[in-house]
Amino acid sequence: MQTKINLDQFLVNKEVTLQTEPGLKEIYYKLEEATKKISHVVNHAALVGILGKADKENVQGEEVMKLDELSNDWLIESLKSSKYCAGVASEEMEDFISFDQCQNEEAKYIVLFDPLDGSSNIDTCSAIGTIFSIYKRKSKGELLLSDFLQKGNDILSAGYVIYGSSTILVYSMGHGVNAFTLDHKEGEYILSHEKIQTPTSSTILSISFGYYNFYEKRVLDFCHWCLEEDKATNRPLTQRYIGSMVADIHRNLLKGGIFLYPATTKSPNGKLRLQYECNPLSFIQKQAGGKYTNGISDILEIVPTELHQRVPIALGSSDLVDKYLSFK
């Protein structure tokens, strides 16, 4: 039988980035700790009375679920206990948090996260996830807002944990994408997908047609192209849209496809957040050989001007992203 490699062993033995950034190892231990707890509670949510709404709205006026809050608290608690983590910013909080240790030289890293993406699926047992990215802070002493407004290309490491039929942690430190499946019995993330590469061509289209009447012409033209019949290019494409970005992206990462959350006439910047969702997932997609765009430029080159910035996004297999960009 093949020897099992857990995430901690993989990081120590295979992750070259740790040679220059050894503190990242501990940040990952903390992310593992928190996401294992989230995974457990997501699996038992109905039994421990934490399904449903928390009876408040987040900074963006969206409904907060009880599990959103709990996941947020656990990530903060775990990361706060690392001397290497200076502070965090979360999709669920208006401002970033500076930890006491931010005054110390060792506290080199900051972490941005969406604690539980796809919240609207929590109560119906569909896949949801935690998305994270780690940056090196630029300041010394007190943390500054500018530490959290770095462009995606400054990411040191990013990834996500999908809580689906399995719990899987997918990450990259800029040298490819690897995935680890949580062995619930052992309580360890075990290497299950090494060096993931997104197929360059695919037949999966992931977009919400609920906004059909609000998309710009270019998006509609692309969708119409996807739905045309053409055997040579395997069209029409199959439509798959869960409404949980992590789940849609994870499927497309492995099988190929294109995921779009474009601008609409009602939301000219789309819905998804640059720092918490689009940057980390574009980083992963790039590392897996796929493409990503806001329709005009390179998402990872956008310098954020605020903590909760939104951006339209299309990402996935390179042939489909190129095709999308060919429509004007």
Read off the amino acid at residue 309.
Q
Check binding of 92 to Mg ion (CB under 5 A). no
One of 15, 21, 32, 114 touching ligand AHM (CB under 6 A): 114
Distances in whole angstroms, Cα of residue 98 to Cα of each of 111, 137, 144, 273: 11, 11, 9, 21
Distances in whole angstroms, Cα of residue 60 to Cα of each of 93, 151, 307: 9, 21, 11
One of 7, 76, 191, 245 touching ligand AHM (CB under 6 A): 245
Smallest distance, ligand AHM to C-beta of residue 185, A: 29
Tell which positions 58-77 bind ligand AHM, by CB under 6 A: 62
Tell which positions 106-145 bind Mg ion, by CB under 5 A: 114, 117
Residue 243, binding choice from Mg ion, ligand AHM, none, Cβ under 5 to 8 Å by partner class: ligand AHM
Residues in contact with ligand AHM, counted by CB under 6 A, come to a total of 12
Check binding of 267 to ligand AHM (CB under 6 A). no
Q: Which stretch binds ligand AHM (CB under 6 A): 164-172, 189-197, 242-250, 315-323?
A: 242-250
Check binding of 261 to ligand AHM (CB under 6 A). yes
Distance from chain centroid for Cα 115: 10
| Rounded Cα gap, residues 270 and 35, in angstroms | 28
One of 66, 108, 137, 271 touching ligand AHM (CB under 6 A): 271
One of 126, 181, 208, 233 touching ligand AHM (CB under 6 A): 208
Q: Peptide bond before 236: cis, by omega within 30 degrees of 0? A: yes
Residue 159, binding choice from Mg ion, ligand AHM, none, Cβ under 5 to 8 Å by partner class: none
Give the sheet arrangement for strand 109-117, strand by strand: 97-98, 85-90, 109-117, 128-136, 157-163, 167-172, 178-183, 188-193
Q: Identify the burial level of 79 via C-beta atoms within 10 angstroms of its C-beta, where 0-12 means exposed, 13-18 middle and 19 or more buried.
A: buried
Token duo for residue 53: 């709404």
Residue 208, binding choice from ligand AHM, Mg ion, none, Cβ under 5 to 8 Å by partner class: ligand AHM
Query: Which phi and psi angles does 280 have, rounded to 5°?
Result: -60, -40
Tell which positions 187-206 bind ligand AHM, by CB under 6 A: none
The answer to whether 182 and 36 are in contact (CB under 8 A) is yes
Q: Which stretch binds ligand AHM (CB under 6 A): 42-50, 146-154, 240-248, 281-289?
A: 240-248
Nearest CB to Mg ion, comparing residues 102 and 272: 272
Residue 15, binding choice from Mg ion, ligand AHM, none, Cβ under 5 to 8 Å by partner class: none
The answer to whether 296 and 191 are in contact (CB under 8 A) is no
Check binding of 119 to ligand AHM (CB under 6 A). yes
Nearest CB to ligand AHM, comparing residues 24 and 128: 128
Residues in contact with Mg ion, counted by CB under 5 A, come to a total of 2
One of 22, 141, 187, 243 touching ligand AHM (CB under 6 A): 243
307: helix, coil or strand?
coil
Distances in whole angstroms, Cα of residue 122 to Cα of each of 22, 53, 119, 270: 35, 10, 5, 22
The answer to whether 141 and 40 are in contact (CB under 8 A) is no
Nearest CB to ligand AHM, comparing residues 23 and 262: 262
Check binding of 298 to ligand AHM (CB under 6 A). no
Of 95, 66, 88, give the one whose Cα is nearest residue 308. 95
Binding site for Mg ion (CB under 5 A): 114, 117
Contacting positions for ligand AHM (CB under 6 A) = 62, 91, 114, 117-119, 208, 243-245, 261, 271
